[in-house]
Amino acid sequence: MLYEWLAADDGVFRLLNFLTFRTGAALVTAFLFTVFTGGWLINLLRARQGQGQPIRDLSLEAQLSKQGTPTMGGFLIWVGLTMSTVLFADLSNPYIWVVLFVSLSYAFLGFLDDFAKVTKQSSDGVSARARLLTEFGVAAIAGAFIMGLHGAHTPLGHADWGSLSGLAEWIAEFAPETSVERNEASFSGGVAVPFVNDYFVPLSGFFVIFAMIVIVGFANAVNFTDGLDGLAIVPMMITGGAFALIAYLTGNFLFAGYLGIQFTPGAGELAVLLGAMMGAGMGFLWYNTYPAKVFMGDTGSLGLGGLIGVVAVAIKHEFALVVIGGLFVLEVLSVVMQVGWFKITRKLTGEGKRIFLMAPLHHHFQKKNWPETRVVVRFWILSVLFALAGLATLKLR
């Protein structure tokens, strides 16, 4: 790993020994790389795609005006994110690899979906059944792997902590309420309960199913949200920033003990990957802001949603994801409510009725004649509020 080679120097590169510095470096590097290569990649996509992404006729003039805009812009994000992660993350950390596995697998599935749509000039891509089976299969592998990692954790007092070997005993004496035996058997295969210190609902093998639901559910929630210029990427960066902070705190025994959240050795390294995601997202926004020069496509949205979902599972903050990613949850709920209510009322009265003018939720406000930029900015504001609310729950225990 490049950062380890440079960090061995006694000069300025010794800063690379600090996780916070590497996170910031990953963010800046991913941003610059994405911005400087973005124009070339967009021109390549435009040349290859011809008519660009097919636009469904939603009776929205603003949507139809975007016909011809190239899609698969998620490539900009993944190139910047992957390069920056390789440069600054500890590649011996298994959490990095499981997150990359899910993210890039979902991104490739999204690419196949986008490719089918562009090739056929139709909104029909990969079949829903094949897509969901693949998503759940990838999530199952990741969930089982993470469960194994959690099970491999030992109580802090028995871990190899080098020069910090006396830290556990010192904390136990200084703060008796902070137990050094935090990684109990229930940690592996258990789900943390919000607002309660160190209590897990034991799911055993069902933990994998729970992980599958979280990862697949959030991946598709982000996919539903990606419908307007800049609408999905900014809330993704906000959510990623919040989880970068949580990952850092979860991976630090002192901070985890103070906050009463489960200490997860090695999880802090995910902050570097999330920093790279934020930087690449900023670079993508450079081109995706209204009026967009490129669309994220499923290549971006599906992989990004899977990334945050698997991070939440890895650091055992799945329920915090519901709050921090509240905007994405609202979007997918609007679809579920719309479809469900239509089917129920059609069965009862013979005529289906709708709750919203159109779903997902952002189209409802477009139908109310809100300008696209107003919808997007107000949704950004909601995303910030959701993230702050989610972070506030860390100390409510």
- Domains of the chain, residue spans: 2-153+188-316
Span 274-305, pLDDT tens digits: 999 999 999 999 999 988 899 999 999 999 99
Integer Rg of the chain from CA: 22
Give the pLDDT of residue 179: 40
Span 80-110, pLDDT tens digits: 999 999 999 999 899 999 999 999 999 999 9
Of 259 and 339, the structure prediction assigns the larger pLDDT to 339
- Sequence-distant (6+) residues with CB within 8 A of 142 are 98, 101, 102, 211, 215, 310, 313
Nearest to residue 147, comparing CAs of 239, 308, 264, 274?
Answer: 264
Burial group, residue 2, by CB count within 10 angstroms (0-12, 13-18, 19+)? exposed
Confidence of residue 53 (pLDDT cuts 50, 70, 90): low
DSSP string, 166-201: THHHHHHHH-TTS-S--S-GGGTTEEEPTTSTT-EE
Tell me how far CA of residue 49 lies from CA of 65, 117, 295, in angstroms. Answer: 17, 10, 12
- Sequence-distant (6+) residues with CB within 8 A of 87 are 2, 3, 25, 26, 29
Q: Please, what is the average pLDDT of the chain? A: 85
Confidence of residue 141 (pLDDT cuts 50, 70, 90): very high
Asked which of 25-34, 143-152, 312-321, 353-362 is least confident by mean pLDDT, the reply is 143-152
220 pLDDT above the threshold of 60: yes
Report how far residue 298's alpha carbon sits from residue 71's, in angstroms, rounded to the nearest whole number: 9
Asked which of 17-31, 96-110, 155-169, 236-250 is least confident by mean pLDDT, the reply is 155-169
Give the pLDDT of residue 60: 63
Span 364-384, pLDDT tens digits: 999 998 999 999 999 999 999
Confidence of residue 46 (pLDDT cuts 50, 70, 90): confident
Query: Of all helices (H) and strands (E), which one includes residue 92?
Result: none
Span 173-192, pLDDT tens digits: 433 343 434 444 456 677 87
Asked which of 196-200, 352-356, 369-373 is least confident by mean pLDDT, the reply is 196-200
- Mean pLDDT score, 65-79: 86
- Sequence-distant (6+) residues with CB within 8 A of 18 are none
Give the pLDDT of residue 64: 59
